[in-house]
Chains A and B, each alone.
Chain A
Amino acid sequence: MAVLVVAEHDNASVKDATNKVVSAAKAMGGDVDVLVAGSNAGAAAAAAAKIEGVRKVLHADGATLAKQMAEPLEALIAPLMANYDAVLFPASTTGKNAAPRVAAKLDVMQVSGVIGVEGADTFVRPIYAGNAIITVKDEQPKKVLTVQPTAFKAAGEGGGAAVETVAAPGGPFKAAFVSEEMAKSDRPELASAKRVVSGGRALGSSEEFNRVLEPLADKLGAAVGASRAAVDAGYAPNDYQVGQTGKVVAPELYVAVGISGAIQHLAGMKDSKVIVAINKDEEAPIFQIADYGLVADYKAAVPELMDELTKAGV
């Protein structure tokens, strides 16, 4: 059995999500190859070759792949599947965008958002925003999966796989990149941060959201997240959203400030190692899953927490 993992990368380096999806691929058994599809992505391909347990790296390089759009990825990956039994994409916006195109081209049903691998053809995934977990048997000749990276441990470094060049698709394609506006921040990226500070609707305004959470995040070296309620209310941008309809995170420390703990939010953060909840409502569902709950108004509690962290030398 041969499994192809589609790397999550920015042409210069490979994201940690790739190492995690490699682990999921290894759990299926068989050989694992990694595809780096990009433009001037030699450095990313070299980094992918160092991931432990990778047989070889396929490197496709060309202008059509610069933004890893769905149409060229489909054109590249569908024919490659002649040599593979399964292809695994990270459940990132790039992976979620492209994977179903490949599946449709191969005439197979995709298994989305896999959080567990129980062998070569049996996978575990959440439905209903994580309120039910299904085990799915996929006996199709080719398998297409998107994998929730946070559910898997990252494969280590220290491998030395060969890098093989494959041709990039020529195009033209009927979708064209125009521009992008990436949130600029010195903070770690939300999806892979070791610490996350998240705010909810209780914060009441975007000014208050930033005033309260940013200093705490800076102090902890944490990424900033938000509940869907806070995003819907316009207190935080959509890419801050943690939850089933946003990002799924699993940091070492997750601090929820003024978040009640709607099911859809919990689905996005319940695998965090340590969860802290600060909420003045003693009955808030977030306390049922928090390791440490502080029943207090954030207005007083967050400054106190800042002081205590300073005293503790953080």
Chain B
Amino acid sequence: MKVLVPVKRVLDYNLKVRVKPDGSGVDLSNLKMSINPFCEIAVEEAVRMKEGGGGHAAGAATEVIAVSIGPDQAQETIRNALAIGADRGILVKADGEVEPLAVAKILKGVIDAEKPDLVILGKQAIDDDSNQTGQMLAALLGWPQATFASKVVLHGGKATVTREVDGGLQTIDVELPAIITSDLRLNEPRYASLPNIMKAKKKPIDVKAPADFGVDTTPRLKVVKTAEPGKRAGGVKVKSAGELVGKLKEAGVI
């Protein structure tokens, strides 16, 4: 079984984004970029399907391909996936913002060429927080989807997926080929070892362009303004639980 894992290069999750003073966007210059955490979880799950572990038999996946759509530097993100254990990479070189719809269309092109049995993506990227790409890709391919996955069990041409939904957990069966998107608790990604990081440098990465798949990446949405979130004015410190209850009574919330 061939597994494809799209990965996105985003601002490192430990860093706080700065809004440009003129409101024209966010300032990412000189900031550390990393693999989107949800994508990293997706890679880990795919690699466990190959190596065994996390409830998967070794060899369930025979090949894991990491794909990224982004600038030259997105190669680093692919190398990151290769260091976790993916076998090879595909970089679809695109500068500037590429919206989820265009990403899904490019991925469809990659999938038409590679014919994987399973595609695992992060449920959302922590930069634009769109939470769209996996679902859009599923619709474009006419495939079933299992989003927000916290557990995946493969068996006989199907995946049984436990999903994190409002109010609890839902389990569904999807016929392969299918789209799965990872939630936080699907697994805990490993730290890539130094030998594996070195090995990853030798794994092949193909470079393509959106035009190779006939996709126009011109954004459909126009961002007219980027602003800092409204600041909530801090309140007062109270000295005791008694004073607190008094204040809450005054405020009419108890």
List the interface of chain A (C-beta within 8 A of B).
67, 69-71, 74, 92-94, 96-105, 107-113, 122, 126-140, 173-183, 189, 191, 195, 220, 228, 231-232, 238-239, 244-245, 247, 252-253, 263, 267, 270, 273-276, 287-296, 301, 304-305, 307-309, 311-312, 314
Is B242 an interface residue when CB atoms closer than 8 A count as contact? Answer: yes
Residue of A nearest to B143 (CB): A174
The count of chain B contact residues (Cβ–Cβ below 8 Å) is 79
Residues of B within 8 A of A99 (CB): 132, 135
Which of A103, A174, A244 is close to B101, meaning CB atoms less than 8 Å apart? A103
The reply to whether A139 and B144 form a contact with Cβ atoms under 8 Å apart is no
The reply to whether A140 and B229 form a contact with Cβ atoms under 8 Å apart is no
Which of A133, A189, A195, A253 is close to B228, meaning CB atoms less than 8 Å apart? A133
The reply to whether B221 and A74 form a contact with Cβ atoms under 8 Å apart is no
Shortest CB–CB separation between residue A279 and chain B, in angstroms?
11
Shortest CB–CB separation between residue A266 and chain B, in angstroms?
8
List the interface of chain B (C-beta within 8 A of A).
11, 16-17, 19, 26, 99-101, 104, 126-140, 143-148, 150, 160, 163-175, 178, 183-185, 219-230, 232, 234-242, 244-245, 247-249, 251, 253-254
Shortest CB–CB separation between residue A267 and chain B, in angstroms?
8
The reply to whether A133 and B227 form a contact with Cβ atoms under 8 Å apart is yes
How far does the alpha carbon of A232 sit from the alpha carbon of B41 in the complex, in Å?
14
5 shortest A-B CB distances, which residue pairs?
Answer: A100-B135, A291-B235, A304-B241, A175-B144, A182-B168
The reply to whether B165 and A94 form a contact with Cβ atoms under 8 Å apart is yes
With A238-B184, A290-B234 known to touch, is A104 a contact of B254 (CB < 8 Å)? no
Residues of B within 8 A of A273 (CB): 253
With A93-B164, A292-B247 known to touch, is A109 a contact of B101 (CB < 8 Å)? yes
Chain A contact surface mostly: mixed
8 example contacts (A-B, Cβ-Cβ < 8 A) are as follows A97-B135, A103-B101, A127-B129, A174-B178, A267-B229, A291-B251, A293-B234, A309-B254
How far does the alpha carbon of A175 sit from the alpha carbon of B135 in the complex, in Å?
13
With A128-B17, A176-B172, A239-B167 known to touch, is A308 a contact of B242 (CB < 8 Å)? yes
Which of B224, B229, B242 is close to A131, meaning CB atoms less than 8 Å apart? B229
Residues of B within 8 A of A109 (CB): 99-101, 219-221
The reply to whether B224 and A136 form a contact with Cβ atoms under 8 Å apart is yes
Shortest CB–CB separation between residue A97 and chain B, in angstroms?
5
The reply to whether B253 and A131 form a contact with Cβ atoms under 8 Å apart is no
How far does the alpha carbon of A228 sit from the alpha carbon of B222 in the complex, in Å?
32
The reply to whether B223 and A312 form a contact with Cβ atoms under 8 Å apart is no
- Extra contacts, 7 of them, besides A104-B136, A178-B172 (Cβ < 8 A), are A112-B129, A136-B224, A140-B220, A195-B253, A239-B168, A253-B254, A308-B241
The reply to whether B235 and A180 form a contact with Cβ atoms under 8 Å apart is no
Chain B contact surface mostly: mixed
Residue of A nearest to B160 (CB): A178
The reply to whether A135 and B136 form a contact with Cβ atoms under 8 Å apart is no
Residues of A within 8 A of B229 (CB): 126, 130-133, 267, 270
With A103-B101, A134-B223, A295-B237 known to touch, is A174 a contact of B136 (CB < 8 Å)? no
The reply to whether B235 and A111 form a contact with Cβ atoms under 8 Å apart is no
The reply to whether A177 and B172 form a contact with Cβ atoms under 8 Å apart is yes
Residues of A within 8 A of B99 (CB): 109
Residue of A nearest to B165 (CB): A93
The reply to whether B234 and A289 form a contact with Cβ atoms under 8 Å apart is yes
The reply to whether A305 and B11 form a contact with Cβ atoms under 8 Å apart is no
The reply to whether A128 and B235 form a contact with Cβ atoms under 8 Å apart is no
Shortest CB–CB separation between residue A224 and chain B, in angstroms?
13
With A100-B100, A109-B220, A178-B172 known to touch, is A131 a contact of B164 (CB < 8 Å)? no
Shortest CB–CB separation between residue A141 and chain B, in angstroms?
11
Residue of B nearest to A309 (CB): B245
How far does the alpha carbon of A131 sit from the alpha carbon of B11 in the complex, in Å?
12
The reply to whether A232 and B184 form a contact with Cβ atoms under 8 Å apart is yes
Residues of A within 8 A of B241 (CB): 294, 296, 301, 304-305, 307-308
How far does the alpha carbon of A107 sit from the alpha carbon of B108 in the complex, in Å?
14
Shortest CB–CB separation between residue B88 and chain A, in angstroms?
27
Which of A102, A175, A275 is close to B174, meaning CB atoms less than 8 Å apart? A175
Shortest CB–CB separation between residue A12 and chain B, in angstroms?
15
Residues of A within 8 A of B247 (CB): 291-292
Residues of B within 8 A of A108 (CB): 101, 220
The reply to whether A128 and B129 form a contact with Cβ atoms under 8 Å apart is yes
How far does the alpha carbon of A111 sit from the alpha carbon of B170 in the complex, in Å?
26
The reply to whether A134 and B238 form a contact with Cβ atoms under 8 Å apart is no
The reply to whether B244 and A292 form a contact with Cβ atoms under 8 Å apart is yes
With A238-B184, A291-B235, A292-B247 known to touch, is A110 a contact of B130 (CB < 8 Å)? yes
Residues of B within 8 A of A131 (CB): 16-17, 19, 229
Shortest CB–CB separation between residue B225 and chain A, in angstroms?
4
Residue of A nearest to B147 (CB): A97
Residues of B within 8 A of A139 (CB): 222
How far does the alpha carbon of A92 sit from the alpha carbon of B63 in the complex, in Å?
34
